[in-house]
Structure 1
């Protein structure tokens, strides 16, 4: 009993201290978790499988991260012994050693079971490494799966007001809406080639306040030079898991014809305008001086 208490204290210390530091480590790629997504109905059972290929690691922890980002500890496996957390209705079986499989079974799912489930490796005197996680959605009574509607919006007019500097950035926005549940990811392509630089996607889909549907947006910044090329095709792809398979939904937009003046053209036009204005001013001054001369001549003539 004392040994278990000590183990749990060590686990919590390691997870708290290392989670933010090492979850992105390269060793995290050696923690494998299946399935990646689960859709289920209330009352059903969910089973998660976890394995790893990290030498000398023989403890697997189980956590779930709820919608409000809180991490809830579910229990752990020490080699071949499972230790579910008190008061948590889960089963932990299998083997936590390298190249073996540990399973977490959650029975009697309910709406509060919707979360992302993780199986980090226990650290003890080492670090803890998190795998990709499994996203679980327990569907509600009206939980019919609905695929997303996708559209791509071009840059705002304000953003495109000054276009002489081709280094300026233009922002394209991809919006996926009216989908349920929120098992989606967003990616961008330019002329069929994947883009990752300049992409900012919402961390989570947001649920409508008036319906069960979700919405997510992603923004892509491109140079004005790329945008003002009608041969460029910007494509947004939204992948959606419907509980059985992943479907892909696309929307695209082409670059615009550059009808704005380039900086060189602008300087030429404004230079010509300034020259014309200067010539006009000079002519006006000469004409005014000539009129003044005539008036003075007439005033000084005899008999006038």
Structure 2
């Protein structure tokens, strides 16, 4: 029998294609103190999938590591994981992963998977994962501060096609711990997803985290009077979800008043007139200088004779 570690590449590809074929329910995100026992539960709705597998994906790691797998009554562990974890099964479609004594190294996302058999040809179906954070005793749980930065006035200024001009708002959430956050945008109190680009994960800055999100809108939306843009950051502190937000308002496009336009036209005409007079005076002066030079040359020629 092939090891599930060897078959994981195939299993993950199948998961990407068939994720909707089986319905999974995993425990919600958890934030716990160190040195305690942690249990993550999993259920699915297909009794034909008699094998249950558990994977660990650590932060900033693109791959998953198999912890163990097995039938209802016979779990199997990979490497030294048996010393840290216990796999239990309550039925064919229900099981649990137990971390015996959680520590900082156990902070990760844990995925439950199910299959009919462990070999190279049987697909595995995955749950959405459970994010676990084991708190650092030297850090304090802190919700984020949120700041929305308005678009740069220089952005897309040189584009000739006004329909292609866009403006980018930047939302920055920072100084929070742990990193259980998500971000969404609203325009005029309505959720928007088009034009939104959010960092895939929060990044550590000293002892706290920060994350950014960008919203791109057409320039005409940004200059539409009364339009407001709101960035919402949801933060889970282990017991409840806290929402922080900030709103900025559209900057009305500058349209010169009639008085301003008249003043501009007058100043332009005045400038043109002054410039014309200057050219005429310069031409006359140039002609006068040329005449003097010609006279001097004539006088010098007569003295030679």
**Which residue of the partner structure matches residue 179 of structure 1?**
176
Query: What are the equivalent positions in structure 2 for 1:35-184 lying under 5 Å apart?
Result: 35-54=27-46, 56-69=48-61, 70-88=63-81, 89-95=84-90, 97=92, 100-122=93-115, 124=119, 125-159=121-155, 161-162=157-158, 165-184=162-181
Contiguous gaps of at least 5 residues in structure 2: 257-263, 292-305
TM-score (norm: length of structure 2): 0.77
Aligned in 2, Cα 1:205/1:29: closer, same or farther, shift over 3 Å?
A: farther
Bigger Rg over Cα: 2
Q: CA contact under 8 A between 1:92 and 1:102: conserved in structure 2?
A: yes
Give the 3-state SS of the residue equivalent to 1:16 in structure 2: helix
Q: How far did residue 31 of structure 1 move? A: 4.0
- In the alignment, the residues of structure 2 paired with residue 225 and residue 47 of structure 1 have an alpha-carbon distance, to the nearest angstrom, of 52
Q: How large is the Cα RMSD of the aligned pairs?
A: 3.4
Deviating above 6 A after TM superposition, structure 1's stretches of 4 or more consecutive aligned residues are 280-285
**Pairing partner for 1:200 from 197, 201, 205:** 197
Q: CA contact under 8 A between 1:59 and 1:96: conserved in structure 2?
A: no
- In the alignment, the residues of structure 1 paired with residue 183 and residue 14 of structure 2 have an alpha-carbon distance, to the nearest angstrom, of 25
Contiguous gaps of at least 5 residues in structure 1: 1-5, 262-268, 297-304
Q: CA contact under 8 A between 2:113 and 2:124: conserved in structure 1?
A: yes
**Pairing partner for 2:220 from 200, 225, 232:** 225
* CA offset digits 1:68-95 (Å, max 9, x no partner): 4142211013244322334112111115
Give the 3-state SS of the residue equivalent to 1:56 in structure 2: coil
Q: CA contact under 8 A between 1:39 and 1:139: conserved in structure 2?
A: yes
**Which residue of the partner structure matches residue 265 of structure 1?**
none
* CA offset digits 1:192-250 (Å, max 9, x no partner): 211111111111111113xx211111111111011111311111111111101212111
Give the 3-state SS of the residue equivalent to 2:243 in structure 1: strand
- In the alignment, the residues of structure 1 paired with residue 196 and residue 166 of structure 2 have an alpha-carbon distance, to the nearest angstrom, of 12
Aligned in 2, Cα 1:260/1:163: closer, same or farther, shift over 3 Å?
A: farther
**Which residue of the partner structure matches residue 248 of structure 1?**
243
